[in-house]
Amino acid sequence: FFLSLKLGNKTKGKHQKQICRIVLDHFEKQYTTELGDTWTHIRDVLTHPLCWQYAVLLNKFSQSTELENTLRVKGYHPAFQERLPYLPSSFQCYISRTPGRFPAQKHQAGKLKEYFLLNAASLLPVLALEVKDGEDVLDLCAAPGGKSVGILQCASPGKFHCNESDLLRSRRLKQTIESFIPDAFINLLMFSTLDGRQIGDLKPELYDKVLVDAPCSSDRSWLFSSDTQQATLRLIQRKELPSLQFQLLR
């Protein structure tokens, strides 16, 4: 979630990331046309990372009462308090009403992480999927792994196929999953680097549930790119995304 709370006061005197002017100028032209006056408010939050909000998804495989107490003391509360059609008791996610970011955990060999930091809205597709124990699940574009971790907090799939076509992102995905899931569950997972557009033909009607988090423009990340050439190239490549998204979803 994003929170916009008196941005000037919240960020005054704190180190700010450098904005890539080429990317911001492109956004100004595109989103002013598409969003009108709303773009001004979105831009205010988008350009102030200290006002971005991250949720804390607890890892049921490494539960910590101390962690939950710490979150409550810091003003965090359950992200999904309304009654939802599907909300397993093992799925616990916390957010705060004030801007800030809970400290990330470093990877430690042989020790599972206690929580995952991510945008709480990205967990809504996980809950909408309503995965049940024993169902075979495919996460088609799984990196960086937040939704895969979220699914495993909800249920124990019979088979869980995590696919990511990009080799580097696929390696990071596997490392992420291994940081949150016990070895006994890792053996039930399958990792692949297939072209997601071909999986339907290669494995027809093999899965009970399929999650497709199609590649997006990653506007928030590229806005703070330190590589102007890469940022310019990305602006060109993002024009091809709608076609790729359509092919993955069809």
How far apart are the C-alpha atoms of 54 and 131, rounded to whole Å?
A: 24
> Annotated binding site for S-adenosyl-L-methionine, which residues?
141-147, 164, 213
Give the other-Cβ count within 10 Å of 217's Cβ: 15
Sign of torsion over alpha carbons 41, 43, 45, 48: negative
How far apart are the C-alpha atoms of 118 and 176, rounded to whole Å?
A: 13
> Annotated binding site, which residues?
141-147, 164, 213
Do 84 and 36 touch, CB atoms closer than 8 A? no
Q: CB-based contacts of 31: which residues, under 8 Å, 6+ apart? A: 39, 42, 43
Asked if the bond preceding 144 is cis, omega within 30° of 0, the reply is: yes
How far apart are the C-alpha atoms of 88 and 78, rounded to whole Å?
A: 13
* DSSP-derived secondary structure for 12-77: TTS--PPP-HHHHHHHHHHHHHHHTTHHHHHHHHHT-GGGBB-EEEE-GGG--HHHHHHHHHTTEE
Do 241 and 215 touch, CB atoms closer than 8 A? yes
Do 127 and 84 touch, CB atoms closer than 8 A? yes
From start to end of the chain, where are the E strands? 55-58, 76-78, 93-96, 115-118, 136-139, 159-163, 189-192, 209-211
Q: For tokens 């929170």, what's the residue?
A: 3
